[in-house]
Structure 1
Amino acid sequence: VDICNSFMAQCESNEVVDLHEFPFFHSYISDVESGNIASNSESHISFNMFGTCSLRNVRRIMRQSRRLKPLRVHLLKSVLDLCKAADLEPFVYGGTALSVFREDGKFISHDTDIDLGILEFDSNGNSSYTKLIHCCLKNGISVFGVENMDESLLISVNSDLYVDFSASISRRFWLKAQKFNMSETIEEIPYNGCDCKRIKFFFSTNGLLKACELYHLNSKIVSHIQSDPSLVHVDLFTLSTYPDSSDDIKPLLVNWNLPGIYDCKKKLFPYNSFFPLIPCTFEGVNLLAPHDLKTYLTIEYGYLGRDAVYDRKKQLCKMKRIFSSGRLTRLRDLLKDRNLQGYILPTEDEHFNEYVGNADRRCAFISGFTGSSCSIVITSDQAALWTDGRYQLQASNELDENWSLFRNDLTEAPTRAQWIVSSTSPGSSIGYDGRQIPYTGIETLQKELAGVEAELGILPNCNGIKNPLSRQLVNIPNTNLIDLVWESMSELQIENVSRPIRSSNPLLFIPVSFSGSSWQQKIDRVRNMMKAKGAELLVLSALDEIAWLFNLRGNDILYNPVFYAYAIVSLNKIDLFLNPKTVDQTPRLDDYLSDKQYSVKIHPYSEFFNYLETVVHNSPEKHLSLQPSRVWLDLSASYAIVTKIPENRRLFHISPVAEMKSIKSLSELNGIREIHITDSLVLCDFLAWLEDEANQINNNSCCKQSHDYKPIKPNTENGAGLPVITPPLVLTEASTAQYLDELRSQAKDFFSLSFSTISCADANGAIIHYHPVEGQSAPITNTSIYLVDSGGQYLTGTTDVTRTIHLGEPTLEQKNCYTTVLKAHIALAMQVVTIEPGYYWSDHFGIRLENVVFVVPVETKDLHSSDRNNYTAETSTGHRSFQFSPDINNTKWLSFEPVTLVPFQRKFINSGMLTTDELNWLDNYHKTVRQVLCSRIYQEVNIQLSINNGNDDHEIMLSNMSMLSSSRQRCLQWILNQTESFL
């Protein structure tokens, strides 16, 4: 359940609310305790963008809203009848629109009014204000707020409504009569950017008495509302087109400008996010709603979540936290039942995947931390989580106060062993699921515990005799305690928890033209390696190895082309363990694996551990040579797998499949090169579009609505040649990420994303693995520093690329930061390491530059001893790269060949910080980018560029640019601009 729902539930009860349990009040409590604010003042936390929650009054407001809801809905019906008589079609707006979108048309529990909207002038120039005032006067409805009119003449004793046409704060008039006579013409003043042009509807005394009688409300409520009519009212906001927009279809803005509260010019709504209107229901009343509620509400509120916690100081929505107390209590009950004093939980599943399926996100379930790497230890009264520096900021936002957070790459942080010893009593038993932790990991942790205890004078176990004071790690066979908590809460529907079911999707067969070898050829190589090691059996649990070995791909884990499986390979047969649903959904799988020479048998996935124990027991313990029959186990094999094998038969060594997979065949290399060209062009298209859109943002509002992107995949446009991909109407982290994902999905041989796109603006870029959440992501403006880390899974390989761009004019400090990261990237390209340097300034911005590279042979030419730190080398593929060398020409060298081909943003680079070597490397890289990508763009329109000896054919490009779509022209021009030489 959302924190806010939990808070509101306690507010509605008669119990005292402990504010310390709710993180969004901590800044308030701190300010009260420090004396910065009074205890009865409003907190710094909002439940939506505009209204704050007063701690003193929140319970009263919620109860009052519940009591007054029937009157508010009744008033709404009367207002709609009046609008119908005036030939007006109002639509839900503001908090009422949020109720329709988020609460299935139910009143938001802390909302205090009903909001409607109407166009100030319709397409024929008719004014809604004027039409409504004439309807009121004609039907005897009491009105207020018409200049030069005697108000006493406008009050009708028989009217059920009271309508105020004046401005919100200044009480200025938008309507003016020529004489003190209702029959005279009434003139209207168009909205001029001041105050608020909206109409407010109230009950008249007569209408209020009728409504209270209808709903059996007492006289106390009547007098209460009469003393404060605003308790029950309906707002009808007027909207108009933005006059300063250059778009053919001008965006809309609400006629509301109150300094310090709302600036309508910063909230421009695309016209087609409102019109045509669509039907909706609010509290059982049929209404109309904006056509694209999500787009409108995202611009209006930023964050649409039910908790809607908003940090005013940073102007950012906070990450959502779960309330972990109930989950920890249930786990501790299970520990107590098993006489355990602690529990260890890694983030991986039993296949040790970096990314796990939703059903295996146990750490996220118990703690709320959603990062991909962590380790958890929970004791009877404490809980701790370790993660690395990438996730430190994210974890601090996502964990509640039940957790201690440690950074495992800092020496001053306690290790798991140190923390366990300090947090449990001597002789404690710490449980774990042996399927989730490597055997070597358990051995290492037990030794670390013994080492920490030895420092405290506790002797370790000796000769199989356990010291009763030593802490012991205890495997819980075939049981995961987190799963028990999760499933029990799902069955009882506690906190709306529902554990997902593991995916089981059809398999895809990979042709030899992509893989380079058939699965039978790979099995032969594996068996030869087994014979060389004296291994009778090979146990495989790594999903990527099984998929690669059998030339199969799956989609059971998001962003990973793998499927749940185990495999046991012997010298005469193969056992493959798959989910039966996967087998049923994959036609021809039996035929594909039906080679009699290799004898592949498919078993249910759940039978793996029992079968492993049986097959090991039944296999000969010794060869004819009297040597033990060995079972080959990867170094990362789980404790549950290893303990099924007798100790004298265990052969620990890196998996032969992992060794084979690490050396790419020529077919694999060519496939990877090809998809990186395709993928790089997608990202260049996206970045060119984003820069172009950002340049056209007016007052941080909305994007242009026209875009004719031509997809890379052929035959994806409709018959009229119209685009199939629509760009977002508003620039946010989430909308741009979604758009990039859609562009990438059009690429040839695209299979899935390789990970959730990391799309960060400004301060969020400092959260290294930040992922935007739709409805609460930050806006992207024409002053943003934007970081995007993305990639795709293709039939022939995987891509992963990061670029950071500035959408305005970077400051000198920002340029220096970017150039420092670029210098690191260039330096790392001369070493054998992953090329992904970054700079992260908390609460300001983040910069990361990432390329995928090949390791290739390199020839050195004419290298002299004086040049050992400064020379040019040429690879076998013709790409030039710089190397630092301490040796002479006869030595064989390896170098990196960049595979990712996306320019580094030129205006973000301070070239004065780069050495001549670095500028040469950058120019050569950009030259390759220009040659390859420009050639690919023109191939799409069947024009071959004659790029000979590394020279671009500019004349052909410029003379034929008109043959490209406008989006491709923009992309081409962007590539040419970014890749201009620095030297």
Structure 2
Amino acid sequence: MRQTFDIKGGPQDGRTHLPLLRRQLERQGLDGLYVPHDDEYQNEYLPDANERLAWATGFTGSFGSAFVFLDTAVLFADGRYTLQAADQTDPALFEVVGIPDPGAFGWLAQQALKGKRVGYDARLMSPNDVAALAAAAAKAGAELVSVEENPIDAAWQDRPPQPMAKVVPHAVKHAGVAHTDKLEAVGAQLARDGADAAVLTSPASLAWAFNIRGGDVSCTPLPLGRAILNADGSAELFIDEEKTDAALRRHLGNRVTLRPLSKLDEGLKGLAGKTVSLDPDVASSWFFDELKAAGARVLRQRDPVAIPRACKNDAEIKGTTAAHARDGIALTRFLHWLDTAAQSGEVTEIEAVMKLEAFREELGSMTDLSFPSISGAGPHGALPHYRVSTASDRKLERGSLFLIDSGGQYLDGTTDVTRTVPIGEATDEMRANYTRVLKGHIALAAVRFPPGTTGTHLDVLARHALWQAGLDYQHGTGHGVGVYLGVHEGPHRIAKPWNAVPLMPGMIVSNEPGFYKAGEYGIRIENLQYVTPAEDILGGEIAMHGFECLTFAPLARDLIDIKMLSKDERKWVNDYHKRVMKVLGRKLDGEVKEWLKAACARI
């Protein structure tokens, strides 16, 4: 099994490591240090060697930050982690402050720190975050200092080594386009933008642009490295030498120069006098400082690989469709198990996760999970980002709802799907709210929209039925998804906050409205879907995009209040289940196939 359920960290880490860190602060003449959760690569999942916030505080949540001073320390964590932050830190050492109010920088601005020197690591922060930190420090009267050596790195005596997984070629049959053609196309766009080169700092961009994959990060097949892509289509790829071999060099060819990661600063100096494209949203402030010192002219613009990576080509769509069909087999077997053996009320959240993972393992093609599964029974389902541990493991009790959000990584695709099912008999309230969530899901799945539409424009569709009942959910409705890459991928998304990136053909996005009743239950229905090319509508004047569903797994038929659905909504459910049966039915047999027929019966 790939997933673990023992949460590392805890108060002892802070008690042990805080004195070591403060000695380093004194050695460097600092009064305090800002500690973000982010690492040098802006990874969603951090290698153990880069878990600096966890080392300093004991807090292992995926989002947070801290200020550590010589005589006090403050940890900032959002609502997902309120209880975890309190459990994992010593209250005698750390004050825990909620996010977003006032937030780490807002808190700093309110302090009286005249004459104090506060350090930060430019490698871990975007230039926009550095500017915000500088403004807050100025209000507090503090001097902001960029550190040459991160005090945590200097104090961390048993730090794990950086990951050194081999970097391997990603076959063109999966990628759809040779990396040389990708580099030429991106280079041509740089030339049109007036840039001589771009510095690629995102591991996902490296993976896509060079048709390579790695194993440096859990749940995502990323190779940690950097690249300089020139407008003529040539490139320098900076990767630790231990990760490379002759097969990789043959794959890259003579238009790509493979260099040790330790030579990155030398490569940046070589850009002196050139106009260099750099993305302030994904590149750390350190890159901007280095390029400025080298004498390069920095052109602040979106990573030139981001949009091409987001707009999947035909081979990528074909591959991810096949991956989702396989994944649907595993998920259907699991849903059958939930509807039969797991109805006892004795199965636990961890046992459910392990059972689903076993079904996926049996496929023989999964390389990893795409994220740690969210397995929420009863009130745990009301925590949208809940992660089960041995300490929190709960039984799937009868008369409750169970929410499972999970996915797998396959060479041809990345999956992410959420289903909510009843354990025992559901209440009328549960069924009504499930149906409201389903109505929002259907609205977003069936919508047609003109070119130029962003996810922000569509978000209300998924919330409309909930809003009419005075209900809502406090997370985004849809995130981008890669193809054998990250399960959370930008730059597009569907959410309330403004997103300026139009939804374009080939973009994969999740459709996952939900409802969460604190302390009782949670509901979420999630499929992945991709944007289709704009087509004319009979009698219309504007060609419209739409969505094509990728995920195939039955909905919880027993939770649908049919009376709440319109005729068109009932048709959507029946058509969806007809497709599920067509895609999955021929690959199943026996009891599971008969169960699927019943689950997909017309409503």
The TM-score bracket by the shorter chain reads 0.7 to 0.9
CA contact (8 A) 1:379 1:423 kept: no
Deviations 1:57-88 (A, max 9, x none): xxxxxxxxxxxxxxxxxxxxxxxxxxxxxxxx
Tell me whether 1:588 sits opposite 2:247 in the alignment.
yes
Q: CA deviation at 1:516?
A: 1.1
Aligned-pair distance for 1:662? 1.6
* 2: CA distance, partners of 1:827 / 1:588: 48
Choose the corresponding residue for 2:99, options 398, 408, 423.
408
Which of 470, 476, 498 is the aligned partner of 2:147? 476
Cα deviation per residue 1:579-608 (whole Å; 9 max; x = unaligned)?
Answer: 22212xx45122222x33x1x222222332
Give the corresponding residue for 1:903.
Answer: 554
Residue 917 (structure 1) shift: 3.9
Mapping 1:478-517, distance limit 5 Å: 479-487=149-157, 490=158, 499-517=159-177
1:674 and 2:322 correspond? yes
| Aligned AA (2:147) | I
Distance 2:58 2:10 in 1: 6
Residues in 2 aligned to 1:850 and 1:387: alpha-carbon distance in whole angstroms: 26
Q: Which residue of structure 1 lines up, in the alignment, with residue 359 of structure 2? A: 743
- The one-letter code sitting in structure 1 at the alignment partner of 2:168 is L
Query: Which structure 2 residues correspond to residues 306-385 of structure 1 after superposition, within 5 A?
Result: 321-323=10-12, 324-385=14-75
Partner of 1:287: none
Distance 1:320 1:606 in 2: 31
Secondary structure of the residue aligned to 1:650 is: strand
Relative to structure 1, the CA distance from residue 443 to residue 331 in structure 2 (aligned partners, 3 Å threshold; closer, same or farther) is same
Q: How many residues align?
A: 533
Shift of 1:339: 2.9
Q: Deviations over 1:660-693 (max 9, x none)?
A: 2121111111111111111122111111022211
Structure 2 CA distance, aligned partners of 1:928 and 1:395? 44
**C-alpha distance in structure 1 between counterparts of 2:515 and 2:61, whole Å:** 19
Which residue is equivalent to 2:135?
447
Helix, strand or coil for the counterpart of 1:327? helix
State the match for 2:331 in structure 1: 683
- Mapping of residues 863-874 of structure 1, within 5 Å: none
Q: 1:547 Cα shift? A: 0.8
Extract unaligned runs of 5+ from structure 1. 1-303, 306-317, 454-468, 491-498, 622-628, 702-730, 864-888, 938-963
- Equivalent in the alignment of 2:453: none
> Which amino acid letter does the alignment assign opposite residue 472 of structure 1?
E
Quote the offset at 1:824 in angstroms.
3.0
Which amino acid is the alignment partner of residue 352 of structure 1? Q
The match for 1:661 among 306, 309, 316 is 309
Match of 2:578 in 1: 927
Change (3 A) 1:672 1:500: same
Secondary structure of 2:222's match?
Answer: coil
Q: Secondary structure at 2:185's aligned position in 1?
A: helix
- Match for residue 976 of structure 1 among 589, 597, 601: 597
* 1:272-291 to 2 correspondences below 5 Å: none
For residues 925 and 387 of structure 1, what CA distance do their matches in structure 2 show?
40
Aligned-residue Cα RMSD (Å) equals 2.6
Q: Secondary structure at the match of 1:590?
A: helix
> Which of residues 533, 536, 543 is equivalent to 1:892?
543
Q: Using a 3 Å threshold, how does the CA distance of structure 1 residues 372 and 420 change in structure 2: closer, same or farther?
A: same
Q: 2:526 aligns with which of 817, 831, 850?
A: 850
> Which residue number in structure 2 is paired with residue 523 of structure 1?
183
Residue matched to 1:812: 428
Distance 1:915 1:407, change over 3 A: farther
The AA in structure 2 aligned to 1:759 is S
The 2-side partners of 1:615 and 1:796 are apart by: 37
2:384 corresponds to: 768
Change (3 A) 1:748 1:581: same
Distance (Å, rounded) in 2 between the aligned partners of 1:840 and 1:685: 26
- Calculate the TM-score normalised by the size of structure 2: 0.82
Q: CA deviation at 1:356?
A: 1.0
1:395 and 1:818 mapped to 2: Cα distance?
31
Aligned partners of 1:334 and 1:481 also within 8 Å: yes
Instruction: Measure the CA separation in 2 of the matches of 1:509 and 1:687.
Output: 35
Query: What do the CA deviations read for 1:81-117 (whole angstroms, capped 9, x no partner)?
Result: xxxxxxxxxxxxxxxxxxxxxxxxxxxxxxxxxxxxx
SS of equivalent residue, structure 2 residue 511: coil
Which of 264, 287, 292 matches 1:608?
A: 264
Inter-CA distance 811–335: structure 2 relative to 1 (3 Å threshold): same
State whether residues 818 and 909 of structure 1, in contact with CA within 8 Å, keep that contact through their aligned partners in structure 2: yes
Contact 2:21 2:56 in 1 (8 A): no
- Inter-CA distance 802–406: structure 2 relative to 1 (3 Å threshold): farther
Between the aligned partners of 2:565 and 2:96, the Cα distance in structure 1 is: 39
Deviation at 1:380, TM superposition (A): 3.3
* 8 Å contact from structure 1 (residues 371, 769) kept in 2: no
Shift of 1:754: 0.6
Structure 1 segment 12-161 matched on structure 2, within 5 A: none
Name structure 2 gaps, 5 residues minimum. Answer: 448-457, 460-493, 495-509
Alpha-carbon separation, structure 2, partners of 1:614 and 1:744: 47
Question: Quick check: 1:349–1:360 contact (8 Å CA) kept in 2?
Answer: yes
Q: Match of 2:156, SS?
A: helix
Amino acid at match of 2:522: G
Match of 1:538 in 2: 198
Structure 1 residues 694 and 742: CA distance shift in structure 2, 3 A: closer
Q: Secondary structure at the match of 2:389?
A: coil
- The AA in structure 2 aligned to 1:817 is N
User: Matches of 2:53 and 2:143 in 1, distance apart?
Assistant: 22
> SS in structure 2 opposite 1:435?
helix
Residue number among 279, 282, 285 corresponding to 1:634 in the alignment? 279
Relative to structure 1, is the Cα distance of residues 686 and 529 closer, same or farther in structure 2, using a 3 angstrom cutoff? same
- Is the alpha carbon distance of 1:676 and 1:484 closer, same or farther for their aligned partners in structure 2, counting shifts above 3 Å? same
Q: What is the rounded CA distance, in whole Å, between the counterparts of 1:740 and 1:365 in structure 2?
A: 32
Secondary structure at 1:423 match in 2: coil
| Aligned amino acid, residue 928 of structure 1 | R
Structure 1 residue 654: Cα displacement: 0.8
What is the rounded CA distance, in whole Å, between the counterparts of 1:580 and 1:356 in structure 2?
21
- Check conservation: 2:226, 2:237, Cα contact below 8 A: yes
CA deviation profile, 1:355-383 (whole Å, cap 9, x unmatched): 11111122222223322222322233433
Q: Which amino acid aligns with 1:582?
A: K
Distance in structure 2 (CA, Å) of the matches to 1:605 and 1:928:
48
1:603 corresponds to which letter in structure 2? R
Give the share of equivalent positions with the same residue, in percent: 32
Aligned-partner Cα distance in 1 for 2:97–2:545: 39
**1:821-852 deviation digits (Å, cap 9, x = unpaired):** 22332334343624222223333222222111
